[in-house]
Amino acid sequence: MLRLLNILAVLVLVGSAVYAYSIKYQTSFRAEQIAKTKIEIRQERDAIAVLRAEWAYMTRPERIQQLADAYLPGMKQLEATQIVAAQSLPERSPRIDSIGNKLDALGLSMPATPPVPGSAPTTTPKAQGQSQQRRKP
């Protein structure tokens, strides 16, 4: 009986050692993952900071003015006389439906009438023939 208890105690000890080792391994693995994730987050934040700096550099008013002068030579600066009240704008013209006008000219503007039940077949003649052949036997 004593020998059985010793063997059982050794097995429990080995089992607990394996369990402790697996927990230690999982913990170190998770710690490495956390460290890698923190490094990736830092790199992404640095990249975002660089992109913000580039955006600020590229959208400088002086640079945009130089580009406008170079590529839009006919453009002039906005003058105060060009600004008007919304009431002084002309009314919007009605929309022109050119396709609808063409259909009216061809006499095709009438909407399609729904078929009357039982008056016209709803399938193709070939499909009707196949369905009748199936029904015969």
Residue recorded with tokens 């927990």: 23
The ranges assigned to domains in the chain are 1-68
Q: For position 19, what pLDDT does the model report?
A: 96
How close are the terminal C-alpha atoms of the chain, in Å? Answer: 83
Q: Per-residue pLDDT tens, the chain, 137 aa: give them.
A: 789 999 999 999 999 999 999 999 999 999 999 999 999 999 999 999 999 999 999 999 999 999 988 998 888 777 888 888 888 888 888 888 888 888 888 887 666 666 666 665 555 656 555 555 555 55
Q: Residue 101 and residue 94: Cα distance in Å, rounded?
A: 14
CA proximity to 51, closest of 40, 61, 43: 43
